[in-house]
Amino acid sequence: MDRYLVQRIGFILLGLVALVVVVPILIVVGAIVVRGAEAISWEFLTAMPRDGMKAGGIFPAIVGTLVLTLGSALVAIPVGVGGAIYLSEYARDNWLTRAIRLAIINLAGIPSVVYGLFGLGLFVLFLQFGTSILAGSLTLAIMTLPIIISAAEEALRAVPVEFRTVIASLGGTRWQGIRHVVLPQALPGIITGVILGLLRAAGETAPILFTVAAFFLPRLPQTPLDQTMALPYHLYVISTQVPGMPLEIQYGTALVLLALVLSLNIVATVIRSYFRRRRQW
Amino acid sequence: MKKKRFSRWIEFLIEALIRTLGFSTIGFVLLIFLFLLREGVPLFFEVPLGNLFSTRWYPTFDLFGTLPLILGSLLVTVTAIAIALPLGVATAVFVREAAPSWAREVLKPMIEVLAGIPSVVLGFFGMTLVAPFVRETLGVPTGLTAFTGALLLAYMALPTIISVAEDALDAVPKSYRDAGLAMGATQWQTIWRVVVPAARSGIVTAVMLGLGRAIGETMAVMMVTGNAARMPVTLDSIFRPARTMTATVAAEMGEVAQGSVHYHALFGIGIILFLLTFAINLAAAATIFKKRRRGGLR
Amino acid sequence: MADPKISIRDVNYAYDGKSALRDVTFDVPANSVTVVFGPAGGGKSTLLRLINRLNDLVDGTHMSGQVLLDGQDIYAPGTDVTDLRRRVGMVFALPLPLPGTVRENVIYGPTLAGVRDRARLEETLTRSLTRAALWDEVKDRLDDPAGSLSGGQQQRLCIARSLALEPEVLLLDEPTSGLDPISTSKVEASLYELKRDCTIIIVPHSVQQAARVADCAAFFLMAALIEFRPGTEIFTTPQNEQTDDYVTGRFG
């Protein structure tokens, strides 16, 4: 067969493959948007659930997800950014550094359900926090850590090394260089990484299954030792464990979760491209 | 002078703090492994190995055969990769080599969207729309099958595979492509005979990372694979319900009593999962490090 | 010579196993312009970075010998390196403005050192920019981003930045290599004024520049000091054959 004909067919096939990849994504998002939109109302978003979850709103689940995400951020951001600063600015190229990188790769690869087991074993049982926001946030924080460290380190490394040299030649210490120049310049990239990590935390179910999540909790959490509802867990339960659950409530919950995650994604992308244009190097 | 000593102290403290945070990742990995062991090792004293490797998982009857779970995970994962590998590599090739720029502008955000969809949302979609579809098109009794799970898993692993494969293709020097074209090959021939083979090891890494992602996936598979812990040994097992290790842990942990044998068994499965993903990620990292040190392509 | 400002004694320096400086010994007189010149790879930049210990930032280096500043070995254990770098300033080959405005760039050094007095900083700002022959051009643009200046202006900004710390020694590593001739001559002219308060060591980007500014000159070739002479004798009557070959352009 003529080589160019083969090529044309080949490229068309590749395009079809890309279509096979893209179309289902559109179907998923589209289906959830279309079918979930029916359920979305002001009441749905702000009211407490009634009637065994079959009516009313999912407000506590939304609040719970926000609280858990913020709670994990409180731990994951300082530890993650600190670790990234260490790797980028202080670490030498020795076996210890390689061990740290290996540890990060592994943390990133641990299945989410194993994080759930770990959270159960350490925070809920051993440290006796019980199933609580505290336990859930800490578990999510450790899960988010590798994402934040990787993104933050990349952002720090992208800052040209010359800045550090100049600061040193002006009698500045290493930390002064980091604080005055490197960190501020890397901040947009770090923020992007943090947001991406947090949206992962917001969407995860398995780590919170055994550490914090409650199904029917018709009041908002008061202390970090309380349980709470959360969107991912809520969606899981109402779609698999509650007979007679109206379908549009399931889709509505899925839509709220999806919207939350996707909008965070968009925010991160916008921040990244905006600051890339305004770079001073 | 006092001010200088004070600021020197602060600098020292800050550096110490940063160092500690840097080491903390190693600490966390060890901590996780430690606690898995703590709750899982008792299993080996409570249940004979023969039981653990038997083919029946019925905790209520004290049967803790892990084989159906391990094989279930394997079946779903391998099928998922079998679907995702050609799709992912072809898409990566399309994006990097053949796509018009408008297509690229559409594809990239789409893949990022896919990467961001929470597992439980995909599982929900799989349960309500994909499973009935599978049931009707394939004429099986239920749509909750290993195949459905594999399908979802494939799409979840795609972003990883595509991005790593793209990087691998990027790393192939332009001179390779130029050489191919200069010899009179068409672009198509150059891609498949020169560029892709040159990116071979990067693609292998992509597959490994995708594999690691797939094995660890919990919610989506739990919601669509039907959760029947049978031994997937017959050829049509792919179109029957199955159960993965991850789904088992997630589904049953809520029902066990702390300290019971079942409880330890689930932690034991957690240990297997930890070690499996550890090994896969170690292998993937080793190929990356080796390639970097050698500085070449293969 | 009166007490030299800087004395290099038997310095050997290697990194990654390769020798970058071998048995270097010479004295730098105070309040003068000492030129360190030679073909690429001769160790000139490395030598400069030894004097403000900037090479400390690099791993895998090995150094022996002494570098004396006012008679004190700066490599003695316990030396305050950040203080040293305030006394010994450096300007690099490429203009490297830090992110921020012109004003922020100039007073970076004193700010890092903890100076908070606004009036004092303003005074330093004006004086440094004047000494760097840049004040007239930027006095209305002090709050513009440093990156908006031209290449020649940015480099003089970097000079002003180093001068803000009132250093005793100023190290200039090919400071005019990227600049147009007008900017180059402005920089060279400022050296005459600067050496009154400062000891200057400069790696020139050409032999001609070396001859224009030198009060004394050191010729480096392949990690070794070949010849060191006061005045401009080294350009007119070099004693060493290799020096002669380089100065007359037979290689380089």
Query: DSSP labels for chain B?
Result: -HHHHHHHHHHHHHHHHHHHHHHHHHHHHHHHHHHHHHHHTHHHHHS-HHHHTSS-EEGGGTEE--HHHHHHHHHHHHHHHHHHHHHHHHHHHIIIII--HHHHHHHHHHHHHHHHS-HHHHHHHIIIIIHHHHHHHHT-S-S-SHHHHHHHHHHHHHHHHHHHHHHHHHHS-HHHHHHHHHTT--HHHHIIIIIHHHTHHHHHHHHHHHHHHHHH--HHHHHHSB-------SGGGGGS-B--HHHHHHHHGGGSPTTSHHHHHHHHHHHHHHHHHHHHHHHHHHHHHHHHHH-S--
C-alpha distances in angstroms, C235 versus A76, C212, C217, C243? Answer: 63, 10, 9, 8
What is the pLDDT, as a whole number, of residue A103? 92
Q: For residue B297, what pLDDT band results from cuts at 50, 70 and 90? A: very low
pLDDT at B1 over 50: no
Is a pLDDT exceeding 60 seen at residue B167? Answer: yes
Give the C-alpha separation, A107 to B189, whole Å: 40
Pair type for strands C33-37 and C61-69: unpaired
Enumerate residues 93 to 122 of chain A having a beta carbon within 8 A of any beta carbon in chain C. Answer: 93
Q: Who among A163, A168, A180 is closest to C54 (CB)?
A: A168
Nearest-10 crossing angle of helices C181-194, C151-163: 20
- Closest Cα in chain A, distance from residue B178 (Å): 17
C211 phi and psi angles, rounded to 5 deg: -65, -30
Instruction: Measure the CA–CA gap between A264 and B112, rounded to whole angstroms.
Output: 12
| ipTM tops 0.85 | yes
Among A151, A138, A146, which residue's Cα sits nearest to residue A69?
A: A138
Mean pLDDT, rounded, for B23-47: 91
B223 and chain A: CB distance < 8 Å anywhere?
yes
A254 with B124: Cβ contact below 8 A: yes
**Closest by CA position to B128, among listed A49, A52, A235, A112:** A235
- Strand segments (E) across chain C: 6-15, 18-28, 33-37, 61-69, 72-73, 88-91, 169-173, 199-203, 216-221, 224-230
Instruction: Indicate the pairing of strand C199-203 with strand C33-37.
Output: parallel
Burial B16-54 (b: 16+ CB within 10 A, else e): eebbebbbbbbebbeebbebbbebbebbeeebeeeebee
The lowest-confidence range among A39-53, A70-84, A119-133 is A39-53
pLDDT higher than threshold 70 for residue A13: yes
Task: Give the H/E segment covering residue C181.
Answer: helix C181-194
DSSP alpha helices (H): ranges in chain A?
Answer: 3-37, 42-46, 59-85, 95-109, 112-119, 133-158, 161-169, 174-177, 183-203, 206-209, 231-240, 247-277
Contact residues, chain A, for C92 at CB < 8 Å: 162, 165-166, 169
Closest alpha carbon within chain A to C90: A169
Q: What are phi and psi of C239, to 5 degrees?
A: -90, -25
Q: Phi then psi for C35, rounded to 5 degrees? A: -100, 130
Token pair of B237, please?
Answer: 């097992």
Q: What is the pLDDT of residue B76?
A: 92
- A206 in reach of chain B (CB within 8 A): yes
| A45 exposure class (CB count in 10 Å sphere: 0-12, 13-18, 19+) | middle
Neighbours of chain B (3+ CB pairs under 8 A): A
Measured in degrees and rounded to the nearest 5, phi and psi for residue B98 equal -120, -15
Q: What percent of chain B has pLDDT over 90?
A: 35
Rounded to whole angstroms, how far apart are CA atoms B218 and B246? 5
| B120-135: average pLDDT | 91
Task: Identify residue B235 by its one-letter amino acid code.
Answer: L
**Tens digit of pLDDT at every position of chain C (252 positions):** 578 889 999 999 998 878 889 899 989 999 999 999 888 877 888 999 999 999 888 888 888 999 999 988 999 998 899 999 999 999 999 899 999 999 999 999 999 998 889 999 999 999 999 999 899 999 899 999 998 999 889 999 999 999 999 999 999 999 998 888 988 998 899 898 898 889 999 999 888 898 889 999 999 888 888 888 887 788 888 888 888 888 888 876
Chains contacting A (3 or more CB pairs within 8 Å): B, C
Give B298's pLDDT tier (boundaries 50, 70, 90).
very low
Greatest pairwise CA separation for chain B in angstroms: 85
- What is residue B2's predicted lDDT score, i.e. its pLDDT? 55
Query: Residue B154: is its pLDDT beyond 90?
Result: yes
pLDDT value of position C128: 93
Rounded distance between C-alpha atoms, residue C87 and residue B204, angstroms: 55
pLDDT at B291 over 70: no
The contacts found for C107-116 with CB under 8 angstroms, 24 or more apart, are C107/C164, C108/A167, C108/A170, C108/C161, C108/C164, C109/A170, C109/A171, C109/C161, C109/C162, C109/C164, C109/C165, C110/C164, C110/C165, C112/A167, C112/A170, C112/A171, C112/A172, C112/A176, C112/A180, C113/A171, C113/C86, C113/C165, C114/B3, C114/B7
Residue in C91, C59, C37, C80 with CA at minimum distance from that of residue C227: C37
Nearest to C165 among A166, A170, A181 (CB): A170
**C-alpha span between B38 and B267 (Å, rounded):** 9
| Distance in Å from the first CA to the final CA of chain C | 31
Chain A residue with CA closest to C88: the answer is: A169
A185 touches chain C (CB under 8 A): yes
- According to the model, what pLDDT value does residue B199 have? 86
The number of beta carbons lying within 10 Å of the beta carbon of residue C53 is 20
Residue B212 · residue B281 · CB < 8 Å: yes
Taking each helix axis from N to C terminus, what angle separates B131-138 and B146-171, rounded to the nearest 10 degrees? 110
**CA angle (A101, A102, A107) in 5-degree steps:** 100
Average pLDDT value for chain A: 89
**Across residues A240-247, what is the average pLDDT?**
84
Residue with tokens 């004190």, as numbered in its chain: C72
Looking at per-residue pLDDT, the higher value among C218 and B237 belongs to C218
What is the separation of C-alpha C148 from the centre of its chain, rounded to a whole number of angstroms? 25
How many Å apart are CA B143 and CA B134, to the nearest integer?
Answer: 5
- Contacts of residue B180, defined as CB under 8 A and 6 or more positions apart, other chains included, come to B189, B190, B193, B194, B195
Q: What is the mean pLDDT of residues B287-293?
A: 68
Which string of b and e fits A89-122 if b means at least 16 CB within 10 Å? bebeeeeeeeebbbbbbbbbbbbbbbbbbbbbbb
pLDDT band at B105 (very low <50, low <70, confident <90, very high): confident
DSSP element (H, E) containing A49:
strand A49-50
Which candidate in C58, C84, C86, C96 is best for mutational testing of the A interface (most A CBs within 10 A)? C96
For residue B276, what pLDDT is reported?
92
Facing A168 at nearest CB: one of C85, C113, C147: C85
Please check whether residue C96 touches A, CB under 8 A. Answer: yes
* Average predicted confidence (pLDDT) for chain B: 87
Q: What is the per-residue pLDDT for B64?
A: 84
Predicted TM-score of the model (pTM): 0.89
Among candidates B208, B217, B207, which has minimal Cα distance to B279?
Answer: B208
Question: What pLDDT digit, counting tens, does each position of C170-228 carry?
Answer: 999 999 988 889 889 988 998 988 988 899 999 998 888 988 899 999 998 888 888 88
Residue type at C34 in one-letter notation: T
User: CA of A86 to nearest chain C CA: how many angstroms apart?
Assistant: 15
The pLDDT value recorded for residue A70 is 94
User: Cα dist. A248→A41, A114, B153 in Å?
Assistant: 12, 32, 25
* pLDDT score recorded for residue B296: 46
Contact check, Cβ <8 Å, A111/B273: yes
Report pLDDT for A235: 92
